[in-house]
Structures are given as structure tokens and as C-alpha cells.
Structure 1
Amino acid sequence: MSGKAARVNVSAGRDFFSVPDISVALCDAFSAGFEFIVSPIVHPRFYRNWKGPSGQRSEPLTRSDMLLSSSDWSSIVVGKTSPWLKLDSEDPDIRKNSERALLEEIRYASHLSHPAVVVNLRDGRCHNLARFISEFIQDPHSNMQVWIRLPTITPHEQITTNDKKGGSNTTPWHWWNTFRTLCENSKQIGLALELTADLPDKAELDRWCGEPVRAVFVPTSVFLTNKRGFPVLSKCHQTFLQQLYKINIQPVLSGFCRHSEKGIQTYHQYINHLYQTMTPPDEVELFGKGYEDFLQNPLQPLMDNLESQTYEVFEKDPVKYTQYQKAIYFALVDRVSDDQRDTVVSVVMVVGAGRGPLVRAALAAAERAERLIKIYAVEKNPNAIITLRNMTLHEWKDKVTIISSDMRDWKAPEKADILVSELLGSFSDNELSPECLDGAQLALKDDGISIPSQYASYVAPLCAPKLHTELAKGKESDYETPYVVMLRNVHVLAEPQRCFTFSHPNWGDRDNNRYGSFTFLVGQDSCVHGIAGYFDAVLYGSATISTVPSNHSPGMFSWFPIYFPFKTPVYVTAGSHITVHFWRRCSRTKVWYEWCMSAPVPGPLHNPNGRSYAIGL
């Protein structure tokens, strides 16, 4: 089933300014195709003044909780706070009234078990509001989400008034960054962006896609009218909304019907149409479904015997083994001329054979090249050896010799013409390919060929608040551990730069320690939460594989990027430079990475001496 065919309808909400009858509002929203509503917790014009008579009122604050079942309150109604609240007002009476009113509203929303409550953020002077929200979410009995609603660009009147007073940054992203920093980047706080008629440039929109956006409010006022009289969005709005769909946001329609006599459902049909007509997910996206932004510990196949399920998953890669087969084909053709192909037998050693995919690739390459080969399949995992022996018994016969041994310890009966391995990790060398091949190449002829022949890691600064928030729940040592992650709700701040390079065979200095420093120019204000890592490899000749975003091998899913966290996010400004330092350290028993930032501000060294994470030899 294709990704497009499998896509279901988008989960969209309907935002109401005022709700006289909540049952009617729900009925109207459902009939138009929406799945939930955003409703004021109290009437939006119900101003409370505890210094006056209204502070001693006898009438109820808002509607009864008995109008809906508890399951409905907690699943199909998102509450929103009063628009007149100003917790950071310079007027102490307004500030205190706002605090008491917000406390009433948020407590009642919690009483109703709303899944989320929407709070407006008007500018960067939000310290008291952030203090209030932080106090609320620290209550161990509260798990309600708080959606901070703010526009995608600063309203003109705020630029010319509020920000001239000082103490407020000029863009909504800066407001948000101030707020979430004050709230310690809590997982309970998310973004509810409101689309504006004008949108910022692409770089700013991409930055939003790296933030924890939960919902996007789409006012009917930003829609255009097409030739048939139906509402549509501009190309820029369409592209941005579809970008947000990819990080699983929920669109919320606000405002009254402006564009069609057929009613509000035409807007829902359109935003659902945008969801349905997104570019279908490719093989990588389909493979990674459910693993987006999920932190995984890197494999250690040298220390641990992989399970059958792990082998099976990676054997499904439609690209990697095709490229390996091409590389072996090129090597065989270069190794043996056409006039020798009926007499010369090339010895091919597959080291780290697993369940045999590279053996099959070598046999297929030999058949295509019309060359004679003899294969040794070397594998240390005793469970995979069972599979290999069965393949020899039922399929390969005497074409393949199975060797149950660590490739570094095996004493080969003859030298190999071609040494083939798939020991690469998400950061190229993090599964100890250099160390393994340094030992295995003793079985290679002096003029022999190694596949891969070269590989390199790459690094880039990363804005990843969602990943950082996940780590905040754990131990201090978690910040000194690299993670394999399918990066989705992140923003890469600069083009990746080449980090460490290894070539094989390596007949010279076999010191696999490495060090490098890398400087990146930042194009816009942002926060750095760590480093993204990628790799590329030359298998042989023109056969290559890569996970670097600019030249990612189309359809290859065997490797997700790697993430090296920073303990403390670092705020950087547009035009500044980020300098990071990386070390690959080796001892007799382990290999580990150390990393730090030195500019724009110095940061701590992560994982010194491999104290939190190491790869066992």
C-alpha cells in the first residue's frame, strides 16, 4: 500500500470565540467534519475585578461540568483562557486581577480534565505569565498540556509600540524562546501557532518546524477565494501547513465563514485536502514511521550478538545491498581482465557476514561480471552461523566456506583479493569498523581491495527542543550519550561539515584516535541543543552510500542520523559562529567520543574518558 493511499483524514479542530451552548457548538463542528473544538473556559468578556462588587458575585463562573460526560470534556474540548488577561501588566491591579482570573480558569480546565488549555502570548515580556504556568505544571497532579498561542509574525502595532519600550524581542520566536526557557523547556508546554496573512521568510518558517508545535490556528481571514468561490490558501501558506503536518500538528480553524455559501465545512474540506495531497512518504519515511524523534541507543554488534529481527529489518533495505553488489562487480572487473575470467578465481572474504546478504550480493556480482569467485563468510555470532550453514547446505553448496570466528582473530588459509564488510554505523565509525578492519586486513593481499574503501562522518549544529526535553527526564549521564534518531521535529542550523575520515586497507599508521574542530555560521537567532551526525562512504569506484541530507542515498533506510546532546541549550544570534570540538578516543578495551562547544560561549566537555558512554572492543 502506498503512503498516499494509507493516509487518513487530518484531525482538525474548530475554534469558537464564544460558546453560548456547548452541545450546539460541538454538533456544528462535527457536522462540518471537525473532531474537536477550542472553547473559552469562561465567557471571553467576563472581566473579574476582585477590588469591586464582581469579586463577591453569586452567579457561577461558567457553564456546568455536567453538560458533557467526563470522557467528552477530556477528549473533544480544548479550553482557552480569557483574551483580556495581562499577567505582565505594569499596572499592579490589572496584574493581580489577571493572576486570580487565570488561576480560576486553569483550575476549572484541570477539573474538567481538558487535554490542553490555550494561553495567549502577546510579546516577550512574559516572565510573570511563565512563572505562573511553570508553577501550575509542576503540580504532580496536573498532566494537562498548555498550548502557547502566538502569531507567526509580530503585529505591526507591537513593533512600533511595545518593542520600543525595551524588554521585548521583535519576533514571536523570541517571545516563545523566552517563555519556554523560563519554564525549563517543560514537555507539558507546546506551541499553538496562528497563521497570519503575511508569513516570514522560509528560514524562519523552517525554524518553527523545529519547535514543539502542537496545533496551528488557521483564521478564515487568511484564505483566498478561487474561481469557483471556494476558500484556498496561498502557495506559501499551503507549503508551510504541509510542513507542519509532517510533525503531526493539528490544524484548528478560527473565524466565521467568509468565502462560500456552502458553509464552514468547505474550509475543513480544503485543509483536509492539503493533508491528503502531501507528497507520499518515501521508503525512509515509511520505514521510520513511529520512530520519529525517538531516542535509541546505537547498536554495538561487536559486543552484542544481534537478534534475528534486527538482521531482518536491515536486510530489507532496497538500496544498500544494490550498491554493495555494484561495488563488488566493479572490483571483480578491475581485478580480473576479460581474457582471464575463465581461469582466475578471486577470493572474496565477507567479514561480519550476518545472515548472508553480502554473500548473496557477491554471488550476484560475480554472475553479472562473469568472474569466478571463492567466498569465505566470517561471522562471530553463533546464532547467525546457524543460518549461514543452512544457506550453504540448501543453496550455496561449496561456493561458500563458513567461518565461525571474530574477524580479528581468524587465521585465514589464504589471502583475499577483496575484503567486504558492512560494519558502518550512523556516525560511520561508531560500530568500530576501523578497529575490526585493521585486524581483518591481515587476511588481505597487499594489492587487495577493501569494500568499503573510505568513509567519513559529518557534524552539524542542531536545534532540537523536543529531544532535549526527553533527556531532561533522565539522568545527567544521558546528556553524554549519543543517540540514533530519525530526526523530524528539529532544525539543522548549518550545512554539515566532514568530521573524521577512514580509508581501507590501511597499511600505514593505524592510530584510530581523531580530533577536529568545526565552525558554523548561524543564519538566524536560535538555540543549539546538540550536534547532528551523518556519514557517507565510498564502497568502491562509483558505488557510494550516504546519509548526509544534501546527497542522501534515495530510499536507503538502514541508518538514521546520530544525535550528540548538549547538557545546556545555547542561545545563538544571527551572524554569530558556532565552534564545536570532537574527539574519537581509543583505549585497549573501548572507543568513545568526547564533544564540546567553544563559541559563541564555552561549554562543558561531554563524556570525558568515556565515563557515560563507550563502545566495547
Structure 2
Amino acid sequence: MAEEGNGSGVEKRKRMSVGLYVSCPPNIKQAVNGSIEYGYHFIVTQLTHPNYTREISKIGSVIGRTDRVMNSSDWNRLVVAQITPTIDLDSEVEHIREHSKKMLMQELGFASHLGIPAIWISLTKPNNVQLARVLLEKLMGGFTYSVWVNIPMLHPSRFSCLAETQYDSWNWWNEFRTYCNYDKRLGLALNLSDSKHLVPPSELKRWIGEPVRAIIIPTSYFLINQHGKPVLSKLHQEVIKKFMSLDVQYIIKNDVDTNDISLYNRYIHFLGKKLFVGDTVSEFVHGFEDFLQNPLQPLTEHLETNIYEIFEKDDVKYDSYQRAVYKAVEDFPGEKTPVIMVVGAGRGPLVQAVINVGLILNRKIKIYAVEKNPFAINTLIHRSKEEWGNQVTIVNEDMRTYKPPEQADILVSELLGSFGDNELSPECIDGAQRFLKKSGISIPQSYTSYLAPLQSIKIFNEIRTNRPLDKTLQYCYETPYVTHLANFYEIAPSLPLFTFTHPNWIEPINNQRYKKLKFRAEQSCLLTGFVGYFDTILYKDVTLSIHPETYTPDMVSWFPIVFPLENPVHVEEGTWIEMSFWRVDSDEKVWYEWCLHNPVKTGIINPNGRSYFIKKH
């Protein structure tokens, strides 16, 4: 079976891993070899075989093929084991339940013995608590395989005129994984719905927020094109395209007479090239999808070279800053020389942008570069001598305490974080505006943070399973994380939270904030936290944004920020999600607190900044 998510480089993202569903082949080795010859990476099949009479009560009875028909590496790579579909641990009939349990235990044990990488279990009804209990028991007991839970994307009852009850298969899955304590080894094998009954867009977004391992495509869904080759409809192609941001595998299920099964595999690989969009952002973030990073603390921790290099690769951001400075200098009286101070200059990309503006406008500009990192100062001094002709005054001080020889006309900074204010841009610019003229301009002029309710069991499990040895689980769930979200569902559109404006001449300056937000869930979901974005007005109409609705194209400087909940919360369709959010400060630190009011009440998360805070000194 193909490995999941271990590729490197953009081409790996285009690679499609395709398996073949083979129901009870007479010879499993021949079935595996045949599928490999046709270009498939693995097969899905039952380990048991109807030719063998299973004696559940007898120890040592034969239940299926001997392991010697293939070597262990083939079992471990090339076979996903389907559990016998007739097993029913949640039957209302006791002897069926007991017999099914014994069969399941036998098959799970055999799969473990063979070293199978994943087992396939189908949910065929709403209540599966007994099945979940047995499975969780085995997972906790050390079984190493993944579990692929097979259900339809859209339950047939939704479009059947004979169905007495309409089921949402997502609810089946949600209850099942809840019983299993959201174990990260649980994933989904989703049956693609036919083109006449495609899953609604909102539900498709919700599926993309789930740990989908595979999409099952029956051969009967394929159309025959003018060249006599099987192809999928445009509608089906759009569904597959939506999943290409995830490491999803595809399984062909042959339900019609087919002469050449390899044609379907070759077509799926073709879709991998046709549908994948490799833009600047996807190239930059590859390998960082859903990877948790702690927000930077540039005030108290000197940034390293590799961090500066990453920032400086974002031409879009610096081009925008240059346009903002250009407009600000244009508005400055032509007979005067503007004094521009770049505060938090780093290794000088904003300084270069200011110099560029002077050259473009053929204007003399007096430039100061203020930076507290002594190692970055080394670079600034070198650039001043070798590149800038000593026209820049380099200052190795903290902008909040620096006493310049003159006041600035324009203050330029790039102190923004993923949440706008989370790297203490308000405190820094407020401190630096002491040396900005009352008529002066701050770039940025303002920035606003946003929050949206989030469903991402991937992020929830990343936090739970990557706990540092010296930290409690509570500490981990009271810490925000910067991450490029891929496997997630935004439950409701984001709402604006806090806005900061510069310069801020209102005394006394107060950067503490509080707001209560209210979101409505359009469908049932699992709330695991909140995702934060920001946008900023640099100057006049020059803006930057990581907000999904106004995202600055090709900008890669900032990933969203996630504020987690310690326990996932089930939210019913139409329910209001209500939460409070605080930005609090003291003489030494700034921190966030948040809590949920509805549909359940939680305690205040991160009170007094006990787990996460941003240091001022």
C-alpha cells in the first residue's frame, strides 16, 4: 500500500495512489500480482475465504489463507484487509452479537499476525457502539494497523423514495469515532456518490475536514469517451479535485464487465496531473500542511537566519509595502526630505523597499533602520556599506526605548503576526510613535483580527499526540498554534474581532480587548477550536490579508493561527456557537483567554496566561 503523506516536492503532490477492490479472489497472490501488473499500488480484499469453514470455538481452526502465500513485506504493503461485511456486533439478537464478536476478534488477530497496514470496516447502520468498543480495546492493546471506516459520502436513503428515514452518514461516522475517543488511527474510506446524487457542497467541505484515507470509485461511474476510454464526468472530477489537498488514495471497485482494468488506474493518474494546481502558495507550504508551529516571540527571542530567509522570500508582501511607502512619500511635500524610520528592520527588506521608492520617485529620503537583534545588525551594516552607499543610519536599539536625534515623518514596520497583534505590534508601534511627528504616517495604519469556528480532528490529534514530556495536556490545549490548515472544515464564516490603529494618540493607550462572538452552524459538525486570521491596511488602498475572503494572492508570509479546545464539542445543525475572547496584558506579558458559552460552557482557557503568553521583555 502506498505511503501516506511522505512525499517531498510538488511532483509528489500530483502522485495518485490507486488501489483495486477485489472480493474474495481464489488466489490472493495472483490477485496482488495482477493488480500490480495493471499499475495498482495495493488491493482491498477479505482475508477469510468462503472455502474455509470457520470454527469459532475451536482453537487453531483454519480461518483463511496461509500467510506463506506471500512474504511479510507484501502483506505489509499491498493488502488492505476487509472485515467480513456480515459481522454485526450491534445486532439486537444476542447470539448474533456474540458470534459476530468472536468472528471479529479472530479476523483482527489474523490481520495483526499478517502485519496488515490497514483494515476496512463498513458501517451499515446508525448504532455501532459495540463494534467501536471492541475496536478501541484492540487499538489500545497495541494493534498497529490503521482502521478505514467505509461509509457512503451521501447515504442512499437521502434520495430514495422508499426510505422511511433519511440518514446522514456523517453522523454515523461522528458517533463511531467519538466512541473510539477520536483515535488518530481511524480514517474514512468514502464511497463516491453517483453523478445524479452528488453530495451537497457544504457537506463536501465537511468531509474534507475529516481524516479521509480513500475514495472508492465504482467502474460503473465512468463514462466512455470518443476514443473508447473510461473517463469521469466533470462533476465527479470536481469532487476529486477538492480532495487533492489531502493525501487521499483512490480505490477502483469493478462492478461491471471490464476487459482492461488498467484503464481506470491510468485515468486516475491522468487526473492527478490534470486537476492539481501547483501555485506559489502550494509550493511554499508543501510539507507544512497541518504542521503545528509555536508563534514567534521576536521581542524576546532573536530570530535566526533561516527565519529571516523565509520571510524575505515573500515578494508579494514587500512589493505591497513598497507601494504603500511610495504612496506615502508621494503625499509628502515635494520640497522637503521625508525622514523614514524602519523599526524592526531585520536584515533590511523594508529598508530596500524604501530605497527603491526614493530611486523610482527620484526623491531624497533620510532613512533610519532600527533593529535590536545584534546579529541582524551585522547584516544591516554590511548592506549599508556594500549595497546602500552608507545612506542608511543603522541603530541597534529597542524601538520602544530608542531616543532618535529627530522625529520621523513615516514609520514603517512589519511586526504583524498570524493574528495581527500576536507578535506585539500594538505595543511596539505605540512605543515607537514617540518619535513620530503628530502629522506623521504609520505603515501599517491598522489591522484587524478574525475568528471562525473550526472542525479539525487532525489538529486536535496533533496536539494530543505530540505533547512535550515536560508539558501537561492542559498546557498544550491552552496554547495557540500557527499552521497551514489543509484537513479542516470552517464551520461558519469568520467574524471580525479586534482592530488596532496607528498612530494611536489616545491617552492612556489601552491594548486590552474583549469581544463576544456568535456563529451559526449550517450543519452538524464537531467543534475542535477556532481559527484566526488578520488583514491590514498598510496605507490608503494598499492592503494585505490572510482572511480567506480577501486573501492576498501568492502571499506566503503568514499561516492562520488556531486556538484549540481541550475536548471536541458536538454541534447540531442550526445551533449557535457562542464564545468570548480576551486580549489581556500586564507589565511583563500579553496573553489571550477564550471560552465557550454555547452549545456547552467551558472554563476560561489559559487564565492569567498560565500556559501561553507573549513576553514584553
Short-chain TM bin: over 0.9
Q: Could you say what secondary structure the match of 1:471 adopts?
A: helix
1:273 aligns with 2:279: no
Distance 1:595 1:7 in 2: 36
**Which residue of the partner structure matches residue 148 of structure 1?**
149
**Which residue of the partner structure matches residue 491 of structure 2?**
493
Distance 1:120 1:581 in 2: 40
Where does structure 2 lack aligned partners over 5 or more consecutive residues? 1-8, 468-472
Could you tell me whether the CA contact under 8 Å between 2:53 and 2:62 is conserved in 1? no
What does the per-residue CA deviation read over 1:493-526, in whole Å, with 9 as the maximum and x for residues that have no partner? Answer: 1111111000000010410000011111211111
Shift of 1:570: 1.2
Would the alpha carbon gap of residues 571 and 8 (structure 1) be closer, same or farther in structure 2, given more than 3 Å must change?
A: closer
Choose the corresponding residue for 1:346, options 338, 347, 358: 338
Shift of 1:235: 2.1
Shift of 1:44: 5.9
**Which residue of the partner structure matches residue 479 of structure 1?**
477
Shift of 1:7: 5.4
Letter in 2 for 1:412: P
Could you tell me whether the CA contact under 8 Å between 1:257 and 1:264 is conserved in 2? no
Letter in 2 for 1:248: D
1:555 aligns with 2:554: yes
**Which residue of the partner structure matches residue 327 of structure 1?**
324
- Which stretch shows the higher mean deviation, 382-391 or 564-573? 564-573
Shift of 1:234: 2.3
Letter in 2 for 1:227: Q
Letter in 2 for 1:73: W
Identity of aligned residues (%): 45
The within-5 A match list for 1:92-171 is 92-139=94-141, 141-156=142-157, 170-171=167-168
Could you tell me whether the CA contact under 8 Å between 1:44 and 1:82 is conserved in 2? no
Q: Could you say what secondary structure the match of 2:404 adopts?
A: coil
Q: Could you say what secondary structure the match of 1:468 adopts?
A: helix
**Which residue of the partner structure matches residue 189 of structure 1?**
186
Q: Could you say what secondary structure the match of 1:74 adopts?
A: helix
- Which stretch shows the higher mean deviation, 27-36 or 499-508? 27-36
**Which residue of the partner structure matches residue 436 of structure 1?**
428
What does the per-residue CA deviation read over 1:160-187, in whole Å, with 9 as the maximum and x for residues that have no partner? Answer: 89975xxxx8211000000000001001
What root-mean-square deviation, in Å, do the aligned CA atoms of Structure 1 and Structure 2 show?
2.0
Would the alpha carbon gap of residues 400 and 128 (structure 1) be closer, same or farther in structure 2, given more than 3 Å must change?
A: same
1:72 aligns with 2:74: yes
Distance 1:8 1:536 in 2: 31
What does the per-residue CA deviation read over 1:442-476, in whole Å, with 9 as the maximum and x for residues that have no partner? Answer: 01011000000000101000111111112222322
Choose the corresponding residue for 1:27, options 14, 28, 33: 33
Would the alpha carbon gap of residues 177 and 418 (structure 1) be closer, same or farther in structure 2, given more than 3 Å must change?
A: same
Choose the corresponding residue for 1:455, options 447, 451, 468: 447
Shift of 1:194: 1.2
Would the alpha carbon gap of residues 97 and 49 (structure 1) be closer, same or farther in structure 2, given more than 3 Å must change?
A: farther
Shift of 1:157: 9.6
Would the alpha carbon gap of residues 158 and 370 (structure 1) be closer, same or farther in structure 2, given more than 3 Å must change?
A: closer
What does the per-residue CA deviation read over 1:35-73, in whole Å, with 9 as the maximum and x for residues that have no partner? Answer: 1111211126867575xxxx5597621111111111111
Distance 2:163 2:541 in 1: 59
Shift of 1:371: 1.9
Distance 2:274 2:423 in 1: 40
Would the alpha carbon gap of residues 581 and 39 (structure 1) be closer, same or farther in structure 2, given more than 3 Å must change?
A: same
Distance 1:361 1:501 in 2: 26
Shift of 1:279: 3.8
**Which residue of the partner structure matches residue 301 of structure 2?**
304
Shift of 1:422: 0.2
**Which residue of the partner structure matches residue 406 of structure 1?**
398
Could you tell me whether the CA contact under 8 Å between 1:4 and 1:277 is conserved in 2? no
Distance 1:544 1:335 in 2: 20
Q: Could you say what secondary structure the match of 1:364 adopts?
A: helix
Could you tell me whether the CA contact under 8 Å between 1:150 and 1:192 is conserved in 2? yes
Shift of 1:301: 0.5
Letter in 1 for 2:287: G
Would the alpha carbon gap of residues 402 and 172 (structure 1) be closer, same or farther in structure 2, given more than 3 Å must change?
A: same
What does the per-residue CA deviation read over 1:130-180, in whole Å, with 9 as the maximum and x for residues that have no partner? Answer: 0011101001x322111111111223399889975xxxx821100000000
Shift of 1:281: 2.2
Q: Could you say what secondary structure the match of 2:365 adopts?
A: strand
**Which residue of the partner structure matches residue 367 of structure 1?**
359
**Which residue of the partner structure matches residue 39 of structure 1?**
45
Would the alpha carbon gap of residues 84 and 48 (structure 1) be closer, same or farther in structure 2, given more than 3 Å must change?
A: farther
Letter in 1 for 2:22: F
Letter in 1 for 2:379: T
**Which residue of the partner structure matches residue 417 of structure 1?**
409
**Which residue of the partner structure matches residue 60 of structure 1?**
62
What does the per-residue CA deviation read over 1:426-456, in whole Å, with 9 as the maximum and x for residues that have no partner? Answer: 0000000000011111010110000000001
Would the alpha carbon gap of residues 257 and 33 (structure 1) be closer, same or farther in structure 2, given more than 3 Å must change?
A: farther
Distance 1:525 1:134 in 2: 24
What does the per-residue CA deviation read over 1:263-293, in whole Å, with 9 as the maximum and x for residues that have no partner? Answer: 1111111111111112422211111100001
**Which residue of the partner structure matches residue 282 of structure 1?**
279
Q: Could you say what secondary structure the match of 2:275 adopts?
A: coil
Would the alpha carbon gap of residues 465 and 57 (structure 1) be closer, same or farther in structure 2, given more than 3 Å must change?
A: closer
Letter in 1 for 2:103: A
Would the alpha carbon gap of residues 163 and 130 (structure 1) be closer, same or farther in structure 2, given more than 3 Å must change?
A: farther
What does the per-residue CA deviation read over 1:90-128, in whole Å, with 9 as the maximum and x for residues that have no partner? Answer: 111111111100111111111111111111111221000
Could you tell me whether the CA contact under 8 Å between 1:33 and 1:268 is conserved in 2? yes
Q: Give TM-score scaled by structure 1 length.
A: 0.94
Distance 1:160 1:7 in 2: 41
Distance 2:11 2:566 in 1: 42
Letter in 2 for 1:114: I
1:503 aligns with 2:501: yes
Would the alpha carbon gap of residues 211 and 6 (structure 1) be closer, same or farther in structure 2, given more than 3 Å must change?
A: closer
Letter in 1 for 2:146: Q
Shift of 1:224: 2.5
Would the alpha carbon gap of residues 464 and 353 (structure 1) be closer, same or farther in structure 2, given more than 3 Å must change?
A: same
Shift of 1:565: 0.3
- Which stretch shows the higher mean deviation, 355-364 or 29-38? 29-38
Could you tell me whether the CA contact under 8 Å between 1:12 and 1:36 is conserved in 2? yes
Report how many aligned residue pairs link the two structures.
Answer: 600
Q: Could you say what secondary structure the match of 1:361 adopts?
A: helix
